[in-house]
Amino acid sequence: MNIKRERTTIIVAGLIIGLIAALLVYFGNPANMGFCIACFLRDTAGSLGLHRAAAVQYIRPEIVGLVLGSFIVALCRKEFSAKGGSAPVTRFVLGFFVMIGCLMFLGCPFRMILRLAGGDLNALLGLVGFVIGILAGVFFLKQGYSLKRTYTQTKLEGIVFPVVQIAVFILLVAAPAFIFFTEAGGGPGAKHAPILISLAAGLFVGALAQRTRLCMVGGIRDIVLFREPKLLMGFGAILVSALVCNLILNGAADATFFHLSFTEQPVAHTDGLWNCLGMVLVGFGCVLLGGCPLRQLVMSGEGNSDSAVTVLGLIVGAAFCHNFGLASSAAGPTDAGKIAVIIGLVAVALIGCLNTFKKKA
């Protein structure tokens, strides 16, 4: 294994991904939201009618592309492998609570980087919480936390989730009456790049993420656990690339791509404590899951049905957030959302304890 080449590859991939994320905003995605796995799953859930928040309903082709990009590359490289059966219900619950943390902060770890690259200083509080959450997860990993092994499954089981993505994409293009779309000017759901650009971006980033094993939570986790910097280099490269692109676009285009402040940031609030606590929950839950929401999508494309179940947990979590007023808005977090985050932290800690300190059978 050539470690230098591996590191160069992930840095180049990160630089390309940062560029694509910035360009997606240029082409129409919401500001600082070239990619946001949490927001995009939430928008897709709304479009499918799983929640009725009219401002956030759109089938995001980036999600379809991420899964299919990973699926195609995994097939070509003979890395597609249908596996699953490692505590799927526990993973569903973890995915559910990770989404509650994401929608408290208003973004997944990927968007946290893009918010930083757009000058949103609230994301610094998110980053602090993210690191704290990862440290909590690493504590359990060091004590022997495990959701136990996966088992080989039929190829069909691994292919189902990518096929579902194709079906969802057909619904976007066909736009039958039962699919909900945010009306123009009605909120973030109405802001999107053209379908084919979004799909191509998703396919490309999914392919790069599959090749490099890119994971936003893995970067900090591996540095703490093993002093291994590879994944963190990808994290850093995305930040640098998106920041530079935003600064260039700020000068070249009419819209604002970089604005250094806490206030008046797009799709963000200024409650530092809850930005932090939301991302504590995300970091903690993602370490116990073995990867960030982006990595879960990529692994679901590689045939991992546990990751597919995790994504379903994220989707259901998003629907709950908007059906029961748990999601934050630009006005700030809700009381119900704060209670949900606290319940989430307790639940994730319990999952950690019960899968670490239980008596050996």
Partner 1 sequence: MKIVDARGLSCPEPVVLLRSAMASGESSYQIIVDNHASRENTTRYAQHMGYKVDVSENNGEWTLTFTK
Beta carbon nearer to partner 1, 188 or 206: 206
Question: Total residues contacting partner 1 (rule CB under 8 A)?
Answer: 25
The C-alpha atoms of residue 212 and residue 224 are separated, in whole angstroms, by 20
Return the range that interacts with partner 1 (CB under 8 A); candidates 109-117, 140-148, 314-322, 345-353.
140-148
* Minimum CB distance to partner 1 smaller for 6 or for 27: 6
Asked if 191 touches partner 1 (CB under 8 A), the answer is: no
The window from 24-32, 117-125, 224-232, 324-332 that contacts partner 1 (CB under 8 A) reads: 224-232
Helix (H/G/I), strand (E/B), else coil: 84: strand
Residue 118 to residues 75, 124, 262, 319, 339, Cα–Cα distance (Å): 36, 12, 11, 27, 30
Q: Which is nearer to partner 1, 178 or 226 (CB)?
A: 226
Contact 15, 240 (CB under 8 A): yes
Pick the closest to residue 14 from 40, 32, 35 (CA basis): 35
Among 91, 230, 269, 322, binds partner 1 (CB under 8 A): 230
**Would the CA dihedral through 40, 45, 48, 53 be positive or negative?**
negative
131 or 200, CB closer to partner 1? Answer: 131
Which token pair is 294?
């982006």
The answer to the question of residue 60 lying near partner 1 (CB under 8 A) is: no
158 binds partner 1, rule: CB under 8 A:
no
In whole angstroms, the minimum distance from the beta carbon of 212 to partner 1 comes to 10
Quick one: 86 or 198, whose CB is closer to partner 1?
Answer: 86
Stretch that binds partner 1, among 18-26, 147-155, 314-322, 337-345 (CB under 8 A): 147-155
d(CA 61, CA 68): 10
Distances (CA, A) of 98 to 79, 101, 335, 339: 27, 5, 18, 14
DSSP string, 28-70: TSPTT-S--HHHHHHHHHHHTTSS--TTS----HHHHHHHHHH
Task: Look up residue 359 and give its DSSP letter.
Answer: P
Q: Does 6 bind partner 1 (CB under 8 A)?
A: yes
Pick out residues in 303-332 that bind partner 1 (CB under 8 A).
304
Interface with partner 1, residue 361, by CB under 8 A: no
Q: Does 9 bind partner 1 (CB under 8 A)?
A: no
213 binds partner 1 (CB under 8 A): yes
Residue 142 in contact with partner 1, rule: CB under 8 A: yes
Alpha helices in 143-229 (DSSP H): 155-174, 195-212, 216-226
Distance CA 316, CA 41 (A): 9
Nearest approach in angstroms of CB 310 to partner 1 is 12
- When asked if residue 211 is in the footprint of partner 1 (CB under 8 A), the reply is no
Residue (149 or 359) nearer to partner 1, CB: 149
Least distance (Å) from partner 1 to the CB of residue 354? 17
Q: Is the dihedral of CA 193, 196, 201, 202 positive or negative?
A: positive
Between 157 and 228, name the residue whose CB sits nearer to partner 1: 228
**Residue 228 binds partner 1 (CB under 8 A):** yes
Q: Which of 81, 153, 323, 356 binds partner 1 (CB under 8 A)?
A: 81
Q: What are phi and psi of 151, to 5 degrees?
A: -130, 155
Give strand ranges (E) for the chain: 83-84, 151-152
Q: Summarize as ranges the residues that interact with partner 1 (CB under 8 A).
A: 1, 3, 6, 79, 81, 83, 86, 141-142, 146, 148-152, 213, 218, 221-222, 225-226, 228, 230, 290, 304
